[in-house]
Amino acid sequence: IFCMQTLLASPKTALQARRGSPAPKRSATMVMERIRAGYNEVPVPVRNTFVHFFEDQTVAISRWVTCPAKPEENKIETATVSTCLPGGNDENQELLMDKEDPWACKSSQKEVLSSEQELRLNKTINREITHAASKGDVNTVLDVAWSHLNSMNGVNLATSLHRIARHSSEDPSQKMQIQSHPGFAPVMKAIERKARWAVESGQDSNSKEAQSGGFPAQCASIVAWSCATLSVRDDALFSILAELAGPRLHELKPYEVTNLVWAFAKLSVRSAALFQSVAQMLQCRRRGEYKAQCLAAAAWSFAKSSAIPRSTQNQLFKSIGDEILPQVNSLKPQEVANVVWSFGQMKIKHQRLCEEIANFLSTPSGFSRFSTTQLTNILTAFAQVHFRHSGSISKICGVILRNSHSLTPEESSSLLWSLAELNVHDRTLLVQKILDMAAADITCFKYEELVVLNTAAKKLSPYHQSFFDVCEAALGTLDG
């Protein structure tokens, strides 16, 4: 096994070393930079790497799992990188004319990996990705994905993006680093190419080819969820993902189905065909097939997208409400808020579900789990479907009053609209507090929010003159 520096020095030096002649010392940095440039800036791993110099001034990079005692079993990856070799062409060609030399081979010769070798390679790459992800740094994961880009299959690509997205959700400060990384755009392009090939080839996701080198339908859900988590909207990619996954929803697990439509709704990407296919699948589901969390995500997604006909919406939401009803206690606060918001947004009143959630909120342990924003959204949804429950409304208003300093202008206007819509006139302290804060910081409100706030205030607190004076002045300025 020859010294890396010696092999990278020049063809002549390499041959001298193999024939026992002394070789001058030379740094490998310059040649490795050439290799990187010829490889489109993709770093070439140096460890356990052999460099062969060929007649046509090409360098072949062969990477091995271990020091290859049995090369035919251990080699897992080959790549060819074009770069200029140092030294004169004529002299190099004379040195490399020895066809019996075991190091020499023709540049046109390309090693074809068997399906078993490809599978081993892809599994090795996946292990490297998960190991890099365990360090908690998205840049490390991107470095690994970028260095293996030409050898990665759909599963490798989806795994990389999923690990990156998961880390960014746990540590939002890393989200800004992701898109600035030079490897992120190539990874996204590679995902799009793989997905497009799977669509155009009509590949069966369960086939051996799809699992080893293709793009299974499950990858569409993983990629979509990851993009939504990273707030990366790519309409061309999502169009391909919808076309790929739509006819193959039966191949997905329940949470993969709901994650898929959640991602489309989160990024406001329209796909009527996909949502209609998912709605049909959900209507034909077996009871208990989808967990309450999945149904909550589905309800939010359909309410956010408004992509299915009204008649289908009513049937679907009724079935979702019926199944979630006995499982409300198993949902997280955000999931409860999303369910109520979804029914409110669609103007679908599920009386028993609303009562169950209101009773749950009325318990001391129930309220302690919810944030001011979540409680505001729940009260707004109750108002949208005209559901009154004095006990829960009183508790919600009490919690919000104690935390009124955290209300945003949008939440303040929504809250007052809800109280006016439900004819709640006994929450005087909360109403006064909101109007006082609005009058003191009126410039933070948008025009639409001020209109809603002004209308609700006239109904709930018609004598709060200081607010009306400031509000009318602000509306007049905005109108002008």
Q: How confident is the model at residue 234 (pLDDT cuts 50, 70, 90)?
A: very high
Q: How confident is the model at residue 293 (pLDDT cuts 50, 70, 90)?
A: very high
Pick the more confident residue, 100 or 422. Answer: 422
Dist. CA 93–CA 451, nearest whole Å: 82
Dist. CA 118–CA 31, nearest whole Å: 29
Strands 75-82 and 58-64, sheet pairing: antiparallel
Least confident of 198-212, 354-368, 375-389, 436-450: 198-212
Residue 156 has pLDDT above 90, yes or no: yes
- Give the CA diameter of the chain: 101
Neighbours of 426 (CB within 10 A): 12
**CA dist 142 → 100, 149, 163, 182, 321 (Å):** 42, 10, 10, 9, 41
Residue 158's SS3 state is helix
User: Could you tell me where the DSSP H helices lie in 231-306?
Assistant: 235-245, 254-266, 272-283, 292-305
Query: For 405-421, how does the pLDDT look when each residue is reduced to its tens digit (9 = 90+)?
Result: 999 999 999 999 999 99
Neighbours of 237 (CB within 10 A): 21
Residue 184 has pLDDT above 90, yes or no: yes
Residue 83 has pLDDT above 60, yes or no: no
Residue 349's SS3 state is coil
Pick the more confident residue, 433 or 53. Answer: 433
Tokens representing residue 421 in the block:
């819509």
Instruction: Confirm whether pTM is higher than 0.95.
Output: no
Residue 1 has pLDDT above 90, yes or no: no
Q: How confident is the model at residue 202 (pLDDT cuts 50, 70, 90)?
A: confident
Question: Residue 60 is inside which H or E element, if any?
Answer: strand 58-64
Q: How confident is the model at residue 328 (pLDDT cuts 50, 70, 90)?
A: very high
Dist. CA 32–CA 20, nearest whole Å: 24
Q: How confident is the model at residue 119 (pLDDT cuts 50, 70, 90)?
A: confident
| DSSP letter assigned to residue 252 | S
Q: What is the mean pLDDT of residues 19-35?
A: 41
Closest by CA to 382, choosing from 366, 394, 393, is 393
Dist. CA 325–CA 396, nearest whole Å: 21
Residue owning tokens 């034909």: 284
Residue 101 has pLDDT above 80, yes or no: no
* 77: β partners: 63
Dist. CA 348–CA 326, nearest whole Å: 19
Q: What is the mean pLDDT of the chain?
A: 80
3-state SS of 431-480?
Answer: HHHHHHHHHHCHHHCCHHHHHHHHHHHHHHCCCCHHHHHHHHHHHHHHHC
Q: Phi, psi at residue 24, to the nearest 5°?
A: -70, 145
Dist. CA 222–CA 205, nearest whole Å: 14
Rg (CA), the chain: 31
* 52: β partners: 60
Q: How far apart are the two ends of the chain, measured CA to CA in Å? A: 81
Query: For 294-318, how does the pLDDT look when each residue is reduced to its tens digit (9 = 90+)?
Result: 999 999 999 999 888 888 999 999 9
Dist. CA 302–CA 297, nearest whole Å: 9
Dist. CA 259–CA 274, nearest whole Å: 13
Q: How confident is the model at residue 112 (pLDDT cuts 50, 70, 90)?
A: low
Q: What is the mean pLDDT of residues 20-39?
A: 40
> Percent of the chain beyond pLDDT 70?
73
Closest by CA to 468, choosing from 433, 439, 425, 431, is 439
Q: What is the mean pLDDT of residues 123-139?
A: 91
Pick the more confident residue, 395 or 74. Answer: 395
Residue 248 has pLDDT above 90, yes or no: yes
Residue 420's SS3 state is helix
Sequence-separated (6 or more) residues with CB below 8 Å from residue 182: 41, 146
Q: Provide the edge-to-edge strand list for the sheet that holds 58-64.
A: 49-53, 58-64, 75-82
Dist. CA 260–CA 275, nearest whole Å: 10
